[in-house]
Amino acid sequence: MAKRRRLTAPDPKALEELETGFAAKPPIGLETKAMAPIAKVAGEAAALADPTPPESRAAALSDQADAERYRRAAAQGLVIEDIEISLINVDHIQRDRITDTEEARSELLASLRANGQRTPIEVVKTEEGYGLISGWRRLSAMIDLDYTHINALIRADEDRPEIYLNMIEENEIRASLSHYERGRIAVLATTQGVFTSIEGAVNHLFAAASKAKRSKIRKFAFLHEALGDLLEFPTALTEKTGLAIAAAVDEKSNLNRFRATLSYYDRRTEAEEASAIKKALIETKPKVADASKGGRPSTRKSLPNRTAKTGGIVTAVVTEQGFAVEVKHREVPQYLVEAVQREIARMLDEA
């Protein structure tokens, strides 16, 4: 029979040493075998060196990300900022819109009074302040209402073609431009050197338009070049009338005759100018006999008009039967008419 071994209780001092050893060793599963000793030491040192609580460090990282997103948005012109109106140069680029209707302006003013500014304007940063790209109607209305600040998107200093494109796109969407205004801005942008030709300007600024529409815009551009200094109400021109004028003044002699005839009439209202244009078109259009009704085509030839210093216009037409001279002047004394008749008769006798 085997001798049983007698168990004795451990010494209290030995138990204390065992407990100290177990406490020093991390629990199973919490040891990070993959972490190199030097990395563990570095991590512990960094944690001890930075007294910021973990939740505060996370908030700081979030703030940095927000700041970076803000910087990117601001660089892309996507941040609305409050700027002083006095620092905005309205003439930074040539405006495509010439005038605004009274009805549209009244509606805008009423909206601003009731709701304030809802849509920001667009500007670019300049050395003196800001240059206006789009939002001329809103800016001028807010000036009338005594605003001193305005909400604006500060766009990057893009190439001039893109600035003009942004302006035109906004006006086409919000309040369509007139036919004349489209042609005019193509001419102005070309004159300023933004584009090398009017055709290139029209093709770039109105790329979304159909080929037929771009062709009409080019004709109104020609109209602005030919008559822009003379027309009092160009935006009132209908498409039909504008194209008729462009066709009538395609030759220099016709253009001079049209200008002289148009400048003779008073044009203090849109109706008066429309009437004057109609008369100028009739007088400029060459009169050709209808061959279907018999007879030979007319050999009528109009000579270039002569303009007197007092504003009178002398027109002359040569026909198969002779010639006709017409003098247009607001006040022509009878004695002067008789003197002209005598002089013409004398010259015919000496011819």
DSSP letter, residue 89: E
Quote the pLDDT of residue 249.
87
First to last CA, the chain: 172
* Residue 4 placed within a domain: no
Given 147, 177, 207, which residue is the final one in a domain?
Answer: 177
* Each residue's pLDDT tens digit, 168-211: 666 554 557 788 888 888 888 787 777 788 898 888 888 888 89
* Each residue's pLDDT tens digit, 28-44: 544 444 555 555 555 55
Strands of the chain (E only): list them: 80-84, 88-89, 121-125, 130-134, 149-155, 301-307, 313-319, 322-328
What does 1-51 look like in DSSP terms, one character per residue? -PPPPPP-PPPHHHHHHHHHHHHHSPPTT---TTS-HHHHHHHHHHHHH--
Q: CA angle at residue 342 from 301 to 349, to 5 degrees?
A: 70
Residue 182 makes CB contacts below 8 A (sequence gap 6+) with: 96, 168, 206, 217, 220
Q: Which domain holds residue 141?
A: 69-177
Structural domain count of the chain: 2
* Each residue's pLDDT tens digit, 133-150: 777 888 888 999 989 999
* Residue 133 placed within a domain: yes
Task: Name the burial class of residue 314, with classes exposed (0-12), middle (13-18) and buried (19+) by CB atoms within 10 angstroms of its CB.
Answer: middle
Average pLDDT of adjacent 10-residue blocks, the chain of 351 residues? 57 62 53 52 55 60 66 66 89 64 80 86 85 82 90 73 64 66 84 81 84 91 89 89 89 82 86 90 67 56 77 77 77 80 81 64
Tokens of 79: 């941040």
Residue 338 makes CB contacts below 8 A (sequence gap 6+) with: none
Q: Three-class SS string for 115-160? A: HCCCCCEEEEECCCCEEEEECHHHHHHHHHCCCCEEEEEEECCCCH
Average pLDDT, whole number, for the chain?
75
Q: Which amino acid is at 245?
A: I
Given 130, 160, 177, which residue is the final one in a domain?
Answer: 177
Given 134, 158, 177, which residue is the final one in a domain?
Answer: 177
* Residue 322 placed within a domain: yes
* Residue 25 placed within a domain: no
* Residue 245 placed within a domain: no
* Residue 318 placed within a domain: yes
Residue 76 maps to which CATH number?
3.90.1530.10
